[in-house]
Structure 1
Amino acid sequence: AVISTTDFFMPIVDDPFTFGRIAATNAISDIYAMGGTPLMAIAIFGWPLDKLPPEVGQQVIEGGRSVCQEAGMMLAGGHSIDSPEPIFGLAVTGRVKIEHLKENSKAQVGDQIYLTKPLGIGILTTAQKQKKITNEDETRAIDTMCQLNDIGCKLATIDGINAITDVTGFGLGGHLSEVCLGSNVAAVIDYNKVPILPNIKDYLANGCSPGGAQRNFDSYGHNLSPMSSEVQSIICDPQTSGGLLIMVSDSAQAAFNEMMTEAGFNLEKIGEIIKLDNGKPLVQINVE
Structure 2
Amino acid sequence: MRPDALAQVLRQLQATIGDSDDPAILSGLAEGDDAAVVEVPSGGKIILTLDFFPPIVDDPCTFGKIAAANALSDVFAMGGTPVAALNICCFPPCLDTDIIASIIRGGAEKVKESGGMLVGGHTIEDDVPKYGLSVMGFSADGKIWEKKGASAGDAVILTKPLGTGIITTASKAGLVDALTFQLACESMAMLNKRAMETLRPFEPSACTDVTGFGLVGHALEICSRSSVAMEIDFKTLPFIGTAPNLAEEWLFPAGTNSNRHTYEKSVNFSPKIEEHMIALCNTPETSGGLLACVSSSCSAALLEEFRIQGIPAWQIGKVISGVPFLFFI
What TM-score results when the alignment is normalised by the length of structure 2? 0.82
1:275 match: 321
Question: Secondary structure of 1:269's partner?
Answer: strand
Distance 1:114 1:199, change over 3 A: same
The answer to whether structure 1 residue 176 and structure 2 residue 216 are counterparts is no
Question: Secondary structure of 1:85's partner?
Answer: coil
- Number of aligned positions between the proteins: 282
Higher mean displacement: 22-31 or 255-264 = 255-264
Question: Secondary structure of 1:214's partner?
Answer: helix
Output aligned runs, 1:92-131, within 5 Å.
Answer: 92-131=135-174
The answer to whether structure 1 residue 26 and structure 2 residue 40 are counterparts is no
The structural deviation recorded for 1:80 is 0.3
The structural deviation recorded for 1:153 is 3.9
Match of 1:238 among 274, 284, 307: 284
1:136 match: 179
Question: Secondary structure of 2:205's partner?
Answer: strand
Q: How far apart, CA to CA, are the structure 2 residues paired with 1:207 and 1:24?
A: 29
Q: Deviations over 1:233-254 (max 9, x none)?
A: 2210100000000101134335
Match of 1:49 among 93, 108, 123: 93
Distance 1:80 1:157, change over 3 A: same
Q: How far apart, CA to CA, are the structure 1 residues paired with 2:277 and 2:249?
A: 15
2:230 match: 187
The structural deviation recorded for 1:100 is 2.5
Question: Secondary structure of 1:22's partner?
Answer: helix
Q: Deviations over 1:4-61 (max 9, x none)?
A: 11000000011111110000000000000000010110000000013x2222111110
Q: How far apart, CA to CA, are the structure 1 residues paired with 2:78 and 2:224?
A: 18
Aligned residue identity for 1:11: P
2:24 match: none
Q: Runs ≥4 in structure 1, deviation > 4 angstroms?
A: none
Output aligned runs, 1:252-267, within 5 Å.
Answer: 252-253=298-299, 255-267=301-313
Aligned 8 A contact 1:18 1:60 in 2 = yes
Question: Secondary structure of 2:137's partner?
Answer: strand
Higher mean displacement: 196-205 or 38-47 = 196-205
Q: How far apart, CA to CA, are the structure 2 residues paired with 1:255 and 1:208?
A: 38
Distance 1:40 1:160, change over 3 A: closer
2:31 match: none
Aligned 8 A contact 1:155 1:161 in 2 = no
Question: Secondary structure of 2:268's partner?
Answer: coil
1:81 match: 124
The structural deviation recorded for 1:157 is 3.5
Q: How far apart, CA to CA, are the structure 2 residues paired with 1:129 and 1:140?
A: 16
The structural deviation recorded for 1:255 is 4.8
Q: How far apart, CA to CA, are the structure 1 residues paired with 2:315 and 2:99?
A: 42
Q: How far apart, CA to CA, are the structure 1 residues paired with 2:131 and 2:154?
A: 36
The structural deviation recorded for 1:137 is 1.2
The answer to whether structure 1 residue 38 and structure 2 residue 78 are counterparts is no
Distance 1:157 1:138, change over 3 A: closer
Aligned residue identity for 2:111: C
Unaligned runs of 5+ in 2: 1-44
Distance 1:197 1:34, change over 3 A: same
Aligned 8 A contact 1:158 1:256 in 2 = no
The answer to whether structure 1 residue 208 and structure 2 residue 245 are counterparts is no
Distance 1:13 1:259, change over 3 A: same
Distance 1:154 1:100, change over 3 A: farther
Distance 1:61 1:268, change over 3 A: closer
Question: Secondary structure of 2:299's partner?
Answer: helix
Aligned residue identity for 2:239: I
Aligned 8 A contact 1:114 1:271 in 2 = yes
Q: How far apart, CA to CA, are the structure 1 residues paired with 2:171 and 2:239?
A: 17
Q: How far apart, CA to CA, are the structure 2 residues paired with 1:183 and 1:82?
A: 42
Q: How far apart, CA to CA, are the structure 2 residues paired with 1:63 and 1:75?
A: 12
Q: Deviations over 1:208-263 (max 9, x none)?
A: 11111111001111111045321222210100000000101134335523432332
Unaligned runs of 5+ in 1: none
The structural deviation recorded for 1:99 is 4.7
